[in-house]
Amino acid sequence: MSPVLHITNGDSAGGLIQESDIGGDVLAWRDVLHEGPVPPDLDLDELSAVRASYLATGGLGELDNLRREFSDRDNSVRRFADYDEVVLWFEWDLYDQLQLIQLLDFFAGFSSDELAETGTSLSLVAPRGYLGNIPPEDFPVLMDGREAINAEMLSLGRAAWAAFRGPDPRPFHQVQKGDTSALPFLGDAILRQLEEFPSVENGLSRSERQILEAVAQNPQNFSEIFRSAANREARVFCGDSILAGYIQRMSDCETPLITYQSGDRIVAPRFDGDTRAFRNAEMALTDAGRQILGCEMDWLALGGSDRWLGGVHLQGASATWRWDSDSRALREVRTDPRN
């Protein structure tokens, strides 16, 4: 058997693990699970096919490359019994916590006897912060402090993953309101995901609202908008490509909420050559964006946007699930929530 397989969120953290002196193989999980469809009742291969298609459609990679990368990743994790130990390295933010519960669900699919029979131990490194901010020479200390993954972690991960993938978001909220102490960062991560549901006040998700607030006083370029939105997060999880997609969703629609200062609608770049112009051009609120931000109009009443949050499909004006930030509760709303 090989000594250790390290599984982490992406190439940056994986590179730091490789630079450190801890040894072992590294597997980057690489999926933006907080955005796009993560439907239930699909096995790992079937779900990876859905995810590859979604990411390719959003301009986050070529479909054939994504399919190959997911296939290689999935085959690698299935060979976990080739190792003496598997160490999961995941941070405290939403991006990482969703990847973590997916992996815990995978390992929870094996009985304790089956896991014992492999001879492979499972461990977790969950820093309070970001692995990318930690120098490689400090990784051996993190490795020494790793925690054995126990039955409570596996059970909670499995329950959270199933709830996240369901078409009704209420069970996911119930996980958040329950005992999540086995995974200390999971509760806050779930809460942040729930804040992406349309608000009862104006139909905007928290991310959409933060983007519009960034340009409420003065036009800003993309880099300034991204920095402003990130500064509003206690635990930053959203990358620039995903945030660019949020802007496009609110611009390239029937009633734009944000446009370039010229009035042209904003389309996120799909190729590197388009990036500079996109980042440098200033963006501004439209009249509709200003009214919605002021809760004078409702984004869903104007059509909203078609998006998936885990297993919940929010279909524009037909979306029924809303988030009430005051009471921290989901509401099923089929009429104007202000009435």
Q: Which two tokens stand for residue 317?
A: 């004006």
Q: Residues near 263 by Cβ (< 8 Å), separated by ≥ 6?
A: none
CATH code at position 222: 1.10.10.10
Q: Looking at the domain assignment, is residue 235 inside a domain?
A: yes
Do 47 and 132 sit in the same domain of this protein? Answer: yes
Spell out the long-range contacts of 112-116 with Cβ–Cβ below 8 A and sequence spacing 24 or more. 112/151
Query: What pTM was computed for the model?
Result: 0.95
Print the domain residue range for 172: 2-193
Position 69 in a domain: yes
Of 193, 209, 241, which marks where a domain is finished? 193
Report yes or no on 338 lying in a domain: no
Q: Using the 3D structure, point to which of 176, 193, 210 is the last residue of a domain.
A: 193
87, 227: one domain? no
Judgement on whether residues 49 and 117 belong to the same structural domain of the protein: yes
- The answer as to whether 140 is a domain residue is yes
Q: 179 and 52, same structural domain?
A: yes
Give the residue, 157 or 60, on which the prediction is more confident: 157
- The CATH code of the domain that includes 14 is 3.40.1360.10
Instruction: Assess contact for 167 and 75: CB atoms under 8 A.
Output: no
- Looking at the structure of the chain, the number of domains it has is 2
119 belongs to a structural domain = yes
Does a structural domain hold residue 339? no
**So what's the pLDDT on residue 338?**
45
Q: Which of 86-100, 124-138, 199-213, 258-272 has the lowest mean pLDDT?
A: 258-272
**Would you state the pLDDT for residue 203?**
96
Confidence of residue 86 (pLDDT cuts 50, 70, 90): very high
The 3-state secondary structure of the chain reads: CEEEEEEECCHHHHHHHHHCCCCCEEEECCCCCCCEECCCCCCHHHHHHHHHHHHHHCCCCCHHHHHHHHHHHHHHHHCHHHEEEEEEECCCCHHHHHHHHHHHHHHHCCCHHHHHHHCCEEEEECCCCCHHHCCHHHHHHHHHCCEECCHHHHHHHHHHHHHHCCCCCHHHHHHHHCCCCCCCCHHHHHHHHHCCCCECCCCCCHHHHHHHHHCCCCCECHHHHHHHHHHCCCCCCCCHHHHHHHHHHHHCCCCCCEEECCCCCCCCCCCHHHHHHHHHCCEEECHHHHHHHCCCCCCHHHCCCEEEEECEEEEHHHCCEEEECCCCEEEECCCCCCC
Nearest alpha carbon to residue 176 among 198, 156, 199, 151: 156
Specify the pLDDT at position 272.
Answer: 56
235 and 320, same domain (yes or no): yes
Asked if the structure places residue 116 within a domain, the reply is yes
Task: Based on the fold, state whether residues 87 and 135 are members of the same structural domain.
Answer: yes
Q: Domain end: 137, 159, 193, which one?
A: 193
Q: What is the pLDDT of residue 337?
A: 46
Are both 165 and 72 inside the same structural domain? yes
**pLDDT over threshold 80, residue 335:** no
| 73 and 153, same domain (yes or no) | yes
Q: Are 143 and 42 members of one domain?
A: yes
* 141 and 256 together in one domain: no
- Which whole number is the average pLDDT over 247-276? 87
216 and 314 assigned to the same domain: yes
Confidence of residue 215 (pLDDT cuts 50, 70, 90): very high
Q: What would the mean pLDDT of 8-34 be, rounded to a whole number?
A: 94
Q: Are residues 165 and 259 in the same domain?
A: no
pLDDT tier at 27 (50, 70, 90 boundaries)?
Answer: very high
- Examine residue 337 and state whether it is found in any structural domain, yes or no: no
